[in-house]
Structure 1
Amino acid sequence: MDRHSRWVQFLKVVLPLMAIALLSTVFLLSRSIETNVSVPFSREAIDERLANQAVTRPNYKGVTSKGEEIQVQATQATQGSENAVPTASDLRGRFGLSNGGEISLHSNSGSIRPDKGTATFVGDVVITTADGIQVTTDILNTSLEEIRGDTPGQIDGTGPIGDFTAGRMTFGTEKADGPVHILFTDGVKLIYEPKKAER
């Protein structure tokens, strides 16, 4: 038997043994799998979510007939029942206008009602537009089918020309294909700031 044949015979024995040794070390050194993993919710929290039909991080997205984007999301929402209305916490909304503008919405709580085509923002509501207007109020009713909304109560705002208050605010289109307008009514008061307007 020549030298080459002896090496082949030797490697035929050694290489499989080395492979077995490597495989065994993989299994021996691998960490054991934790089968008793705790759920990040308490039993009471799970029962409460099941009872209230709670949903974590719901995200509603839609497009109007004009191609404008509507998005409303929350940290948590409940479906409600016969005696209770649906609720949502940390509600955020975004209306993407056809002209490239945007209206952003935020509130502590509210409700999302796709069945009625509405979303209501409640508690420390902040409305911000892309052109620098920011309005705060207590309640804002909006549509999920078109860019439209209204505040039944007083608003406080600030914008490029100064600070203002009004008894009511609405936004939407006057005509079906028209641009979105924001309208302030019921006792509008404006503190005009020329320096702010020139920026």
Structure 2
Amino acid sequence: MASVGLRSVVVAWLRVLLPLAALAVLSTLFLLSRHPEEGRGIPYARVDAEARARDPQITAPRWATVTEDGARLTVAADSAAPDAAGGLTGARRLRVDWRAADGLAAQLTAPQLTVGDEAITLDGGVALSLNSGWTLDAPQVAAATDRSAVEATGGVQATAPFGEIEADRARLAPADDSQDPDYLLDFTGGVRLIYRP
């Protein structure tokens, strides 16, 4: 019987002391917290609004499509400015990823891009690299948006696993034979091959 009385007394004291202890802990939490630094305001983006109004830009533009035969085309940049012709000029780190349905992939980089109805055109010195080991440099490259085709014009310099090729133009497209699912990289116009075994 004495243990029941002692237990009741302990429970009665704990009902008073535990809330007081919790209140003391919370009070010290707020009393000992750090004070905010003087002069530190709410962080805002450091952008010159007047410059943005004068020179409109698109930050992190991204555009993607899938052609009728299954090739995926993705265009991305860190920033770009629209021009009067509907293209993107002054693009920083402009890159185009082209991936055919069979896994063939190409990465293109260029300073300028124009998006048309049936193709996107990269200008100003285009670097193209294929996952098969080929690299091409050309002044202009157009990638079709309705079918799997990439065409480089204006003088092409290519590096292949077996050597170098120079030509007026190059075209990457599926083979004309519908039975052959492979892609052909076709060089035309003043082709010069330097073979390095």
Taking structure 2 as the reference length, what is the TM-score of the superposition?
0.80
Aligned to 1:40: 46
Check if 1:22 corresponds to 2:25. Answer: yes
Question: Is the 8 Å Cα contact of residues 91 and 121 (structure 1) preserved in structure 2?
Answer: no
Give the structure with higher Rg (CA). 2
User: Cα distance 1:23–1:145, how it changes in 2: closer, same or farther (>3 A)?
Assistant: farther
User: Cα distance 1:31–1:164, how it changes in 2: closer, same or farther (>3 A)?
Assistant: farther
Taking structure 1 as the reference length, what is the TM-score of the superposition?
0.80
For 2:80 and 2:143, locate their aligned partners in 1 and report how far apart those are by CA, in whole Å.
17
For 2:62 and 2:177, locate their aligned partners in 1 and report how far apart those are by CA, in whole Å.
27
Q: Which runs of 5+ in 1 are unaligned?
A: 195-199
User: How far off its partner does 1:24 sit?
Assistant: 2.7
Check if 1:136 corresponds to 2:137. Answer: yes
Aligned to 1:72: 75
Matched positions, count: 188
For 1:131 and 1:26, locate their aligned partners in 2 and report how far apart those are by CA, in whole Å.
62
Question: Is the 8 Å Cα contact of residues 69 and 148 (structure 2) preserved in structure 1?
Answer: no
User: Cα distance 1:102–1:125, how it changes in 2: closer, same or farther (>3 A)?
Assistant: same
User: How far off its partner does 1:85 sit?
Assistant: 4.6
Question: For 1:25, what is the secondary structure of its paired residue?
Answer: helix
Aligned to 1:197: none
Matching residue's letter, 1:181: L
User: Cα distance 1:31–1:95, how it changes in 2: closer, same or farther (>3 A)?
Assistant: farther
Q: Which runs of 5+ in 2 are unaligned?
A: none
User: Cα distance 1:18–1:117, how it changes in 2: closer, same or farther (>3 A)?
Assistant: farther
For 2:51 and 2:174, locate their aligned partners in 1 and report how far apart those are by CA, in whole Å.
42
Question: Is the 8 Å Cα contact of residues 166 and 188 (structure 1) preserved in structure 2?
Answer: yes
Aligned to 1:151: 152
For 2:144 and 2:52, locate their aligned partners in 1 and report how far apart those are by CA, in whole Å.
27
